[in-house]
Amino acid sequence: MKIFLFLITFISLSISVSGQDVKLSSIENLQAEIYKLQDDPDMAHATWGLCVLDLKKDSIIAEYNSSAGLVPASSLKVLTTVTALSVLGENFRYETKIQYDGTLDTINGVIYGNLYIKGSGDPSLGSKFFQKEKDTVYATQKWVAILRSKGIHKIEGSVIADPGIFEQEMIPDNWTWGDLGNYFGAGPSGLNYRDNQYHVFFQSGNEGDTAKVMKVSPVIPGLVMHTCVRAAGTKDYANFYGAPYSYIRYAVGTIPPHRTDFEVDVSMPDPAYYCAYEFDSLLKKNFIRVSGPPQTLSEHELAGKKDDKKHRTTLYTEYSPKLGDMVYWTNKKSLNLYAESMLKTLAYRRTGLGSVNSGTDAVAAFLSSKKIDIRGLHMNDGSGLSRSNEITPRQFVAVLKLVHKESCFKSFYKSLPEYSSGIVAKGGYITRVRSYTGYATKKNGDLLAFSFIVNNYDCPPADMVKKMEKLLDLIGQLD
């Protein structure tokens, strides 16, 4: 084997034939780089795999360890978004409804009953990714205007958020504690709002000083923050800790010194409640009286009050952007919240309740129905944040081959970030995991599907990226 590797390395430089240098073909260069990576000291304790498929010829042209089960990180979003596009359709829209129970007195403009925000799991409600300008009117402001246009000026009840379309637990069981308080650890509610985030602004001062919290936006009622974030370094290493539905947050780590308005994004404790709270506040500011406090449906029911969903009347329906547009942002920006919401939406479509377990079952069922071998696939969330996920590069390539034949392929393809000329891929990164899954365009215009995953490398993440991107460049140069 060592002799063989030596020969590969030697001829990769060039060989002399009749006084002329003869270079290796593009596929031979790729194979030589695979052998080189296999023998790299930084990969001594790593497990990694690669699979490259020529879609036109339907043949694997390069692979290494392609049937190994590997942790994919955010590349897992490929499975979730492909399934969502195929099952729900790229033109699917979520529907958030403003409803009331009781009666509406149109003469006096009074609702004798409660006002409900019935969530649909829409991750784009109030999302910054669908705001054209910073002063975009939020959904809650629009809803207030609609009530005013109907002549309503009093509600003899409460504003109640109804997130019951999804399970109450927002976070998959195997996400790590260190992720939950941060923006990327915001789990999906049946009523998502403002990306399920709030923003903390720090003043950092001199090197080594404790940073001061200057403001929180939006203001979260009841929030208690304990912070010991210091000024140091040049990057944001502030980390927030806190469980869903808990209004106590702890912050540690560092942010750059001498900053007066340094923003750190944090997961919202209960986005459904905040949506009801904001709507309630705006109603009162616009002289629409509300007799009861804002609540979530679970709080309403815990107080011993019954909810009869069948006898609600819908005043207004808020339609989301098309699913194809949501998938675009999900993969471009690696939005965990969007991916997890889509997973639970698939579950709701299948079982009547959006849950993580039913969502992963829905993905597995879809892939199996398309004759993809799912043995060795272990899916525990929709976004890839869990370290309990496992998939093989060969399975990823099979999914890429599948969606290539689907009518939604254009929407999916344009959602993948571009890494270099002719290479688009969904990347993934969590501690000691790097992955790329996507497509490469050959010189003749034909497409290759590939997946490249590395676990437990022994070098800094930036160095691993360089090694992987060198190989990706060679895939992009294939004839």
> What residues does CATH 3.50.80.20 cover in the chain?
93-321
Burial (CB < 10 A; 0-12, 13-18, 19+), residue 405, is: exposed
Mean pLDDT of the region 178-196: 97
Nearest-CA neighbor of 425 among 463, 398, 452, 387? Answer: 452
Look at residue 137 and tell me whether its pLDDT is greater than 90: no
- Position 274 scores a pLDDT of 98
- Whether a cis peptide bond, with omega within 30° of 0, leads into 218 is yes
CB-based contact 422:444 (threshold 8 Å): no
Among candidate residues 161, 256, 244, the one with its CA nearest the CA of residue 209: 256
pLDDT of residue 446: 94
Tens of pLDDT, residue by residue over 45-74, are: 999 999 999 999 999 999 999 999 999 999
Bridge partner residues of 173 (DSSP)? none
pLDDT, position 17: 36
Work out the pLDDT band at 301, boundaries 50, 70, 90.
confident
Percent of the chain exceeding pLDDT 70 equals 94
Q: Which residue shows structure tokens 């784009």?
A: 124
For the chain, give every residue range classified as CATH 3.40.710.10: 40-90+325-476
Topology adopted by domain 93-321: D-tyrosyl-trna(Tyr) Deacylase; Chain: A; (3.50.80)
pLDDT in tens, 396-418: 999 999 999 999 999 999 999 99
Average pLDDT of the chain to the nearest whole number: 93
Q: Is the pLDDT of residue 9 over 90?
A: no
- Yes or no: say if 165 and 359 are a contact pair by the CB < 8 Å rule: no
CATH 3.40.710.10 fits 40-90+325-476, yes or no: yes
